[in-house]
């Protein structure tokens, strides 16, 4: 067994969507400042990744990869969740194309000196359980994602469900994906009532306790890599969650993952960090500093979702094979 396989893993996934994350709200007038800062945030994140040796998994909405006016893939035709390139939402501004099309962001991610993974966040940010999200509709979305990515020589293998609404895993596997981000196995998710669950999740964010260390599991040919902790925005009620609590939860969980050879799966949206870049990027840097300390001690390794999935899917080496190889 290699030394690396005996280390804990730090997985950092980023839901990258810009305006596509707002289509379910019917507008984004109150979030233009965050959109305008998102590219700056992504540049800062990439600088931090280079400084601390971190490989992120960027779950990108497929349509963001298209340039303004670029033709849609044939597989998107007939999909009611995928408006044509020329269709405008009623609240979409004439000068807002850079919120909807961002091939420049893909170029920035790919130019990072520390290897990054580009995964999928669906083609139009379609949420499971909403109109059009049948198995057939999901299949069309995934085929569109794959076609757009393939034209850019990107192989999509990791998937993050919009709003973490998981469904149609068989369709995901059939389209060549090997992993997805599952929901966190937090105590707050196991409270019986809906209201109680919301209160519990809220309370959990304010408690400076560790989040779950997770294990990746093979679920009929696709690997579930559950989330550990969401690194929150700084708007609404979340502005009252101290940065120090977010940092402490992350560091405690990372240390547990290092000790137990488990996974600390942190996730966020670049858009969320744009709500308060200075504070939230500063908090992330403190988390990354702890990662670097643990990594330099041989205790933890930064891994993309696909790297984790590949290790889970590796054929087990039997004791007999090891004995034979040593003779």
d(CA 223, CA 214): 13
CA 149 to chain centre: 17
- The H or E element containing residue 265 is strand 263-268
Q: Give the separation between CA 234 and CA 35, rounded to whole angstroms.
A: 14
CATH architecture of 4-183+212-326: Alpha-Beta Barrel (3.20)
Q: What is the pLDDT of residue 194?
A: 67
Is the Cβ–Cβ distance between 49 and 55 less than 8 Å? yes
pLDDT value at position 29? 82
pLDDT on residue 325: 46
Q: For residue 21, give Cα distances in angstroms to 60, 90, 115, 237.
A: 11, 16, 26, 20
263: Cβ–Cβ under 8 A, 6 or more apart, which residues? 8, 9, 10, 11, 213, 214, 215, 216, 225, 228, 257, 308
Tell me the per-residue pLDDT of 231-281, one tens digit each, with 9 for 90 and over. 999 999 999 999 999 999 999 999 999 999 999 999 999 999 999 999 999
**Alpha carbon distance 189, 228 (integer Å):** 12
pLDDT at 24: 84
Joined tokens for residue 118 = 């580009």
Report domain extents, the chain: 4-183+212-326
Question: CA–CA distance from 103 to each of 20, 61, 70, 71, 152 (Å)?
Answer: 14, 11, 11, 14, 10
Say how far apart CA 160 and CA 57 lie, in whole Å.
Answer: 10
Q: Give the model's pLDDT for residue 317.
A: 45
Please check whether residue 188 is in contact with residue 204, taking contact to mean a CB–CB distance below 8 angstroms: yes
Q: How far apart are CA 163 and CA 168, in angstroms?
A: 15
Q: Closest by alpha carbon to 189, among 174, 173, 176, 200?
A: 200
pTM of the predicted model, to two decimals?
Answer: 0.91
Cβ–Cβ contacts within 10 Å for residue 220, how many?
7
Exposed/middle/buried for 29, CB within 10 Å: 0-12, 13-18, 19+?
exposed
pLDDT < 70 positions in the chain: 1-5, 75-88, 187-198, 315-327
Residue 1: CB atoms within 10 A of its CB come to 7
């Amino acid at each position: 067994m290699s030394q690396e396989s005996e280390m804990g893993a730090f997985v950092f996934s980023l839901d990258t969507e810009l305006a596509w994350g707002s289509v379910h709200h019917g507008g984004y007038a109150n979030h233009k400042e965050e959109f305008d800062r998102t590219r700056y945030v992504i540049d800062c994140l990439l600088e931090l990744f280079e400084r601390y040796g971190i490989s992120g998994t960027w779950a990108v909405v497929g349509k963001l990869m298209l340039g303004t006016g670029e033709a849609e893939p044939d597989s998107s035709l007939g999909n009611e969740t995928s408006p044509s390139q020329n269709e405008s939402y009623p609240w979409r501004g004439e000068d807002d194309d850079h919120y909807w099309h961002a091939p420049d962001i893909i170029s920035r991610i790919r130019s990072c000196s520390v290897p990054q993974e580009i995964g999928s966040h669906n083609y139009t940010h379609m949420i499971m359980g909403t109109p059009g999200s049948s198995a057939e509709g999901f299949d069309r979305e995934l085929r569109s994602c794959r076609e757009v990515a393939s034209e850019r020589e990107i192989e999509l293998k990791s998937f993050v469900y919009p709003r973490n609404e998981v469904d149609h895993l068989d369709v995901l596997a059939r389209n060549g994906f090997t992993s997805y981000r599952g929901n966190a196995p937090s105590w707050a998710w196991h409270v019986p009532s809906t209201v109680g669950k919301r209160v519990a999740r809220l309370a959990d964010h304010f408690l400076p306790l560790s989040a779950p260390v997770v294990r990746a599991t093979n679920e009929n040919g696709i690997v579930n890599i559950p989330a550990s902790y969401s690194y929150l925005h700084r708007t609404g009620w979340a502005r009252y969650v101290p940065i120090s609590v977010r940092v402490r939860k992350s560091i405690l969980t990372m240390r547990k993952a290092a000790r137990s050879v488990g996974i600390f799966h942190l996730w966020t949206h670049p858009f969320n960090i744009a709500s308060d870049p200075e504070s939230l990027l500063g908090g992330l840097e403190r988390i990354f500093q702890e990662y670097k300390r643990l990594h330099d001690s041989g205790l933890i390794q930064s891994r993309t979702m696909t790297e984790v999935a590949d290790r889970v899917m590796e054929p087990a080496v039997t004791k007999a094979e090891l004995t034979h190889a040593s003779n």
